[in-house]
Every structure is written in C-alpha cells, then in structure tokens.
Structure 1
Amino acid sequence: MELIELSKGLDTVWVVLTAAMILLMEGGFALLEAGFVRQKNAVSIIMKVFVDIVFGALVFYAFGFALMYGADAAGLIGTNGFMLRGDLSHISLNISHETYWLFQCAFVIAVISIVSGAVAERIHFRAYILLTIAMTGLIYPLAGHWVWAAGGWIGKLGMIDFAGSAVIHALGGFAALAAALFIGPRIGKFGKDGKANIVPPSNLPLASVGAFILWFGWFGFNAGSTLSATNESIGHIAVTTMLSAAAGGAACILFTMFRYKKADPPMVINGSLAGLVGITAGCAFVSDGAAILIGAVSGVAMVLVTEWLERRQIDDPVGAFAVHGVSGSIGTLAVGLFALPELASGVGRGYYGLLYGGGWSLLGVQALGLAVVAAWGFLMSWAALWLINRVVPARVSKDEELVGLDVGIHGVPAYSREHGFIDLDQLKGN
C-alpha cells in the first residue's frame, strides 16, 4: 500500500511539474512573437497570450475538458465531466482527475497560442477573445476526443500521436492558416507587383530567448505525456526531442547558407521549433537516427513553405503554419514510417513503421487522422471567424493598424520614452 501511495505521489509531482513547464512555454510564445513583430505591436502580443491563458483555462474547465475526455458518445464527443463534476471513472490513471486536467489545460493553451502569431498585428482584440473561446471550448476538444479519449474513433483505428504533432500542432497550424487567410495580410506586406516586402523583426535576441524557453518547455510537453515519473521511456523521449530540435536548427543553418548565402536568424529559430514540432508525435516510438532525420526534414520544409506562403501572398508574421502545420504533418506521417516494433507494437492496434516491416496500416491511419484533424482545424476556424466577424470586426481599422495595436487598441506603448510624458494623441496622429 505504501508503494502504491508513493507511486501516485511521484506521478502527481511529475505531472504537475511538467504542466508548469508547458505553461512556461507561454512566456516563450510571448517573447518569440513580440520579437518577430514590430515594436508598435508588442503589447498586443502579450495581451493575446494572457487571453490564451485566462480564457483558455476557464473555458476548458467549464466544458472543454468534458467534451474532450468525458464519457464517449459514438466516438465523437465527451458527455460528462463539466467543471470536473460527475463520474470520470472511465479516465483510469495513477493521478487524480484534477491533476490530469491541469496537464491537459496547459496543452489547450498552447494550441490557441499557435494561432495567435499568424494573425499578429491586425486581428481585433475582442474577436481574438471569441476565437480563443471557440478553439479551447469546441474545436480542439472534439479533435482531441477523436484521437486521445477512450472510445475516440480515430484512436480506435490505431493512430499514434504521443504528445500532439497532429492534435495540437497540425490542428493549430491549419487553424492559423485559416485565420491568416480570413484576416488578410498586413498593410504594406505585399507590393502592387505581388512581391513580399520585408517587415524587419523588432528584436531578434528577444525572439531567440522565447525559442529557448519553448525548447525547455518541450521536455515537459513530450516527456510529461508519459504521465508517470517512473516510466522508463522518459530518457529516450528527452533524447529524441533534443536531437530533432538540434537537427531542425542545423539543417536551417546549412540550407539558408546554401540558398541565401548567409545563415538566416529567423529561419534558424523557427527551424529548431520545427524540429520540436516534428518529433512530438513519435518521440517515444522512433530511434535517435529517425529523430534527427525528422528534425532536419521539418526544418528544411519550414523554409520552403515560408517562401511558398509569401509567393501566395499569405501573411504569417511568425511562421505559425510553416512551423506547426507543416512540421506537425511531417511528424505525424513519420510515425507511420519509423515507429519501432519494440516500442510501438504495444500501442493502439499494434501497428508499427513501414520501414521496419509493419506494412502500410499505421501510415494509412496516420494519414487519415492527420487529414481529418487538419481539415477540422482549418474549416472550423474559418467558420468561427466568419461568425465572429458578424458580431465584432475581426480586423482592426486601418488607422489602428498603422498606429499600432499597442496604442490603437490597448492605449499604451510597449516602451516608454526616457524623459517626459507620452502624448497619446500625438502617437495616434491626432
């Protein structure tokens, strides 16, 4: 009995600690995005991150968690557990349901934070609050139920998505793409000839610190998904996570040196993040070598997709779709190729990677699950924004965008002047 209680205590501490690490990633998102956007929009980034946390947590507590992990109905939706009440005995874990909710809450906050960067510098604050409620209360919970909940229809097919390359990153990335398309590009981003104009980041050192914080938090993201402090795969998960991130950054350094004749700092930052996204689905099930390959492919693909978006005049200021949508897709499919028999055969339906003799079954299931989750994220986010735009404007006015959202929407600049007072009327051009 004492050993059982000790095991529960250790697992609880582990899950709470890793949940806190994931929540710290919001600081990483804040610094990364604030560094990538112009100085006049830094406060708006911080405010959106606070919206992610405060509204995301409350909505997920009230009904998002219930829709995701409540008792299954037809493999599509959870039906109980609103405000963590009712019989949740079907969630059989070595930790309390409250502890599990905390960990999952950190995940749902990360999903909407992905969307935040794609609409930076032009989405209206009130519209973003409503979009956060839709994402954390309905869009993400239902997709998560299909893959991760007991009885979810995609999970029953045998899909493997250990920590969320599909459920979190592909979903968030394709939602970000829909939002960027719906809101439209920033004023002046594209010239009359259709070519993209460079919008210089305001603070690349700040963005790099944000990336390092995200990298740190990712160890909680991936290794914490074991939900057990004594799980022997924690070390392997941490190693594959580290190697994939390093490979993503290294590949971007070499590829941009070849392509642009210089190492491109924003691409290198996003390359490491792409490697982290790519390994998230298979971190517990692939070899070290496969992790390096996944990271490198994700990093190079991120660069190519970023260029493609600009040619298509799609404005994504921080590269949310290229990092999360594309790398999440690569990582999800890579499980179907590289999942090791000794690590994956006991999961789901026992499928393992095509390259290890596992046949096409797992790859097919991964592709189907990815397609469903990505399409759901894109279409539902577009629909949500369409409805929101009928209630409040989805995009700020031209004057607010030109002045900057910090002053135009929030009434305060990110950085005060060294001497004297700030004349807000002057900043607004009045």
Structure 2
Amino acid sequence: MFDFIDYLSISNILINNLWIVIAAIFIFAMTIAVGFLEVGELGKKFKNSMLKTIVITGTAMFVMSIIGFNTAFAPTLYGIIGNPFYKDGFMLGGFSPGVIFNTWWSMGTSYFNTGLTTGSYFFFETACAAVTLALVGVIVLNKVKFGAFFAFSIVYFIFIWNLPAAWIWNPSGWLYQMGMRDFAGGIVVHGAAAIAGLAIIYEIWMEERKKGLKTSLKVNIKPDYQWLAVGILILWIGWFGFNPGSVLAFNDDVLVVVIATFIASGAGMVSTMLFSRMFDRETPIIIVAVNGILMGLIIVTPLAGFVSPASALILGLIGGPLYVGAEKLFAKVKWFSDPVGLFPAHGVGGIFGVLMIGLFTQHAFAAASGNAILPNGLLFDGGFAALRQLGIEAFGVFVVVITVFAISFLAIFIIAKLSHGILNEDAYKNLEK
C-alpha cells in the first residue's frame, strides 16, 4: 500500500542532500574566486595566487577525507576533538558502504535531524574548510615559500581548522554544549582564518627584520578590474550556498537566510563606500566597493539564521565604519602587513558578527533554523538571558582566538626552522620593482 507520508519523508531527505551538495559546489567555487580576487586587487604579478588556491582545495579534500572530518564532526573526546577512530575510523569508513547511508555523525539533536548522509555533509564541510585556508593564503600573498605554505596547509587541516569546528559546530563540542552558536562561521571560518594569517604575518615580519626587507611591507595596489569583477561576482554568488547551506536542510528558513545575506551585502557596500570616501580617497573605489560587499557578508554570516531582514540591513550598515576604522587602526601596527584588507574584513567582521548574536538574535528566527536554545537578543528585550548569551559568545571568541593564534604561530615557527625560513625572497625582488 502506498504510504504518502513515507514518500514525503524520503523526498525531503533526498531534497536536503541535493541542496547540501549544490551548496557545497557553490562554496568550492568561492575558493577559486578568492584567488581571482587577490589577482584583481594586486595585479597580474600575483597570478601564482591561482596555483595556491588550487593546491589548498586539493589538500583540503585529501586531509579532510583521512582525518579532518572525523576530528571535527565525529562524537568528541571530552568535548575537545572528534574521535578519529569513531565507528569505521579514518577515511569516512574506509571500504565500508556506510558513507552512503544516514549520518554516523548525528547525535540526535534537531540541528542534525535532516537525513543528510555522511557523504553529503563531508562534501559541504570540506568546501568550508578549503575556503578558510584560501583566506589565509590571501593575507600572506606570495611572500611565503610555496613548500612552506603547503606544509602549513596540512597542519592547518589536521590541528587548527578542526578545533573551532569541533567545539562550536559539533553537538558534543564543549562550546556548543555551553550554548555558543555561530551559524555559518563568523569565528569558525572567517575569524579563525584571519587569526591564523595574523600569526604568519608576525613570523614574516620577524624574518624580514633579520634580512633587512622592511620595505616589502608596502605593496602597491594595482587593480585588474576584470579579475576583480569575476572574483567578487563568484564570491557573492557562492555566499548564497555558504550561508543558506548552513541550515543543513532545504526548508523555509533557507529563504530567510538568503534574504538576510542579500540585504547585508548591499548595505555593507553602500556604507563602506560612504565612510571610506570621508577618510580615504587614495584607495580605488572598486576596491572599497568589494571590501564593503565582503564586510556585509561576513558580519551577517554568524547570525544569518537568527535575525530578521531589518536587522541584517542594520548589521550591513555598521560594516562601513567598522571596516574603515579597523583598517586605519591596524595600519598603525608596525609589523602588520595586509594590502588587501583581509584582517579588518574577515577578522574584525567575523568576530563582531558573532558578538552581535547577543544583541540582534530573535528567538523565532533562531528556532526556525534549529537553534531554539538562543534567546532574544538585548535589543529585543532578551534581558539576562541575552546578556548571558553575549558573555558565552565573547568567551568562545576569546578561546578560539588564543588557541588558533598559538597553534598557528607554533606551526609556522617550526616550519620556518625546518625549511631555513619561510620567506620567498624572489617575490620580494618583484614586489619592490
């Protein structure tokens, strides 16, 4: 006898898996778009950036399939890191057919009761991981030896990326259990990438001082408008897989996240262009517009499933003064070198967005996205519960920032010692021409 209810249930599962696969494809396109954006902002001299992003993508696939996915999303050991030997162990179960069946990583919470297979979820999260390291690649430009960056990428996917993911996105992670939420990766993706990049920048600066390459801190921006347009267009479109895909199902909340992402990006662009023209008339307007779009997208990323369209608009508008102020502030730090403004956008924007969960969240939106634990924010009469949530988010951000910076700096320091320095000195000669 035909059971219509069972048919609908199976159809929903298939649609959910199809949607996550499509979203993952969008996100993988973002990884290559990061390379386009780097070339577009700094000129064709940096075309080897494309090779870097391609290698990052392949490394993510390799390491995540062997160990990275397990250590991030399998049931955790004491809430700290996923068990790499869970069930069938490494490589998504090895030769067993378990990867095609229902999720072995589900812990029974509403967040994961969407029927996703291990394979589709692995594909999605591997794409997110690849984008994370691509952002780190932008902040270090081509100043780092290719071999040194490749070594760091392996370390990153084994020891760095998976810790924030296991703590915040894994239902058995200690920060998740505490109540911290980060919808699509304000700190897990953007903030962590910027902090890791910051650690590498500091190591670069120390080596530059030893070798008398201080002038290399200044890189002339020579925008290539075609590469820039292609890069931001692909990134912009890809974000509609990145944020809505984080719903982990194809339901009504996907449209809410799409609208929030859509509005925040436009508001961020307008706001950044206005504030930038007030305080900085040297940066090409196309660079300002691109960074404004990114700032709006990044700020809304950690709470896109928790806020109304009106709140998304306000958050995007805040992005302008926040970006301009952060860029001016960090430019005064003598060892800081970030010609494309990645840290002010991804670092400051991502962290700020996570903190705004305690202010702008509306429980109705959060519950629809599977995060019913979140109370109304302080701006919506959340009271003590909202204040507590803000404290949890701030504490989580602090722990992730300290951990990621410490491990990243230790990793790049060891790599530098083993490879007799990480600087690509040939690139420095080109930078100064």
TM-score calculated relative to the size of structure 1: 0.87
Q: Is the 8 A contact 1:65 1:82 kept in 2?
A: no
Match of 1:234 in 2: 254
For 1:298-377, list aligned pairs within 5 A: 298-313=319-334, 314-344=336-366, 347=371, 349-359=373-383, 360-377=387-404
What amino acid sits opposite 1:242 in the alignment? F
Gaps of 5+ in 2: 1-5, 107-111
- Aligned pair partner of 2:21 in 10, 16, 27: 16
Counterpart in the other structure of 1:76: 80
Instruction: Sort the Cα spacing of 1:193 and 1:97 in 2 relative to 1 into closer, same or farther, 3 A.
Output: closer
1:89 aligns with 2:104: yes
Aligned identity (percent) is 29
| Shift, 1:315, TM fit | 0.8
Q: Is the 8 A contact 1:37 1:121 kept in 2?
A: no
SS of the counterpart of 1:242?
helix
Query: Residue 224 of structure 1 aligns to which amino acid in structure 2?
Result: G
Q: Residue 260 of structure 1 is aligned with which of 280, 283, 290? A: 280
Q: Is the 8 A contact 2:144 2:424 kept in 1?
A: no
Tell me, what secondary structure is at the counterpart of 1:94?
coil
Mapped to 2, the partners of 1:20 and 1:103 lie a distance apart of 8
Deviation at 1:19, TM superposition (A): 0.5
Q: What letter is aligned with 1:241?
A: T
Distance 1:171 1:242 in 2: 24
- Cα distance between partner residues in 2 of 1:234 and 1:12: 14
Q: CA deviation at 1:185?
A: 9.2
Q: How big is the shift at 1:235?
A: 1.1
Tell me which amino acid in the other structure corresponds to 1:129: F
Is structure 2 residue 63 aligned with structure 1 residue 63?
Answer: no
CA change 1:46–1:193 in 2 (3 A) is: closer
Give the AA of the match of 2:373. Answer: R
Q: Residue type of the partner of 1:69?
A: F
Q: Given that residues 299 and 350 in structure 2 are in contact (C-alpha distance below 8 angstroms), is that contact kept between their aligned partners in structure 1?
A: yes
**Secondary structure of 1:226's partner?**
coil
Tell me the alpha carbon deviations over residues 94-116 of structure 1, each in whole angstroms, 9 at most, x when there is no partner. Answer: 12101110000000001101100
User: Judging changes above 3 Å, is the alpha-carbon distance between structure 1 residues 29 and 399 closer, same or farther for their aligned structure 2 residues?
Assistant: closer
Deviation at 1:294, TM superposition (A): 1.3
Report how far residue 246 of structure 1 moved. Answer: 0.7
Evaluate the alpha carbon distance shift between residue 96 and residue 352 of structure 1 in structure 2; reply closer, same or farther with a 3 A threshold.
same
1:204 matched to 2:208? The reply is: no
- The letter for the 2-side match of 1:59 is V
Between Structure 1 and Structure 2, the one with more helix by share is 2
Q: After superposition, what is the alpha-carbon deviation per residue over 1:160-191, rounded to whole angstroms, capped at 9, x for unaligned?
A: 21111111111111111111121129989xx9
TM-superposed CA distance for 1:399, in Å, is 3.8
Letter in 2 for 1:7: N
Aligned mates of 1:224, 1:397 — CA distance in 2: 37
Match of 2:193 among 139, 153, 172: 172
Alignment RMSD = 2.6
Alpha-carbon displacement from aligned partner over 1:300-342 (angstroms, at most 9, x marks no partner)? 2222222222221311132221111100011101111000022
Partner SS, residue 390 of structure 1: helix
Give me the whole-angstrom Cα distance separating, in 1, the residues matched to 2:132 and 2:216: 31
Whole-Å separation in 2 of the counterparts to 1:108 and 1:124: 22
Q: Give how far 1:344 is off.
A: 2.6
Shift of 1:194: 9.2
- Equivalent-residue separation in structure 2 for 1:199 and 1:297 (angstroms): 28
What secondary structure does 1:121 align onto?
coil
Q: 1:281 to 1:251 in 2, by over 3 A?
A: same
Tell me whether 352-361 or 237-246 shows the greater mean CA deviation. Answer: 352-361
Determine if contact 1:248/1:272 at 8 Å carries over to the other structure: yes
Question: What are the equivalent positions in structure 2 for 1:133-144 lying under 5 Å apart?
Answer: 133-144=154-165
Name which of 405, 413, 424 aligns with 1:386.
413
Question: Aligned partners of 1:90, 1:31: CA distance in 2, in Å?
Answer: 35
Distance 1:60 1:195 in 2: 35
Q: What is the 5 A alignment of 1:120-199?
A: 120-184=141-205, 197=218, 199=220
Matches of 2:216 and 2:417 in 1, distance apart?
32
The 3 A distance-change label for structure 1 pair 316 and 159 is same
Letter in 2 for 1:243: I
Greater shift, 104-113 or 78-87, is seen at: 78-87
User: Structure 2 matches for 1:269-308, cutoff 5 A?
Assistant: 269-308=290-329
Deviation sequence 1:347-382 (CA, Å, 0-9, x none)? 263433111122301111111111111222222111
| Contact 1:122–1:186 (Cα < 8 Å) also in 2 | no
Q: 1:121 to 1:349 in 2, by over 3 A?
A: same
Name the counterpart of 2:109. none
CA distance in 1, matches of 2:246, 2:357: 17
Q: Aligned partner of 1:232: which letter?
A: D
Residue in structure 2 matched with residue 103 of structure 1 by the alignment: 124
Give runs of ≥4 in structure 1 deviating > 4 Å: 185-188, 191-198
Distance 1:195 1:395, change over 3 A: closer
2-structure distance, mates of 1:142, 1:198: 33
Indicate conservation of the 8 Å contact 1:121/1:404, yes or no. Answer: no
CA contact (8 A) 1:66 1:78 kept: yes
Task: Give the distance between the partners of 2:45 and 2:269, measured in 1 at CA.
Answer: 29
Q: Using a 3 Å threshold, how does the CA distance of structure 1 residues 258 and 202 change in structure 2: closer, same or farther?
A: closer
Mapped to 2, the partners of 1:192 and 1:102 lie a distance apart of 41
Which is worse superposed, 384-393 or 350-359?
350-359
Partner of 1:420: none
Q: Answer whether contact 2:216 2:428 (CA < 8 A) is retained.
A: no
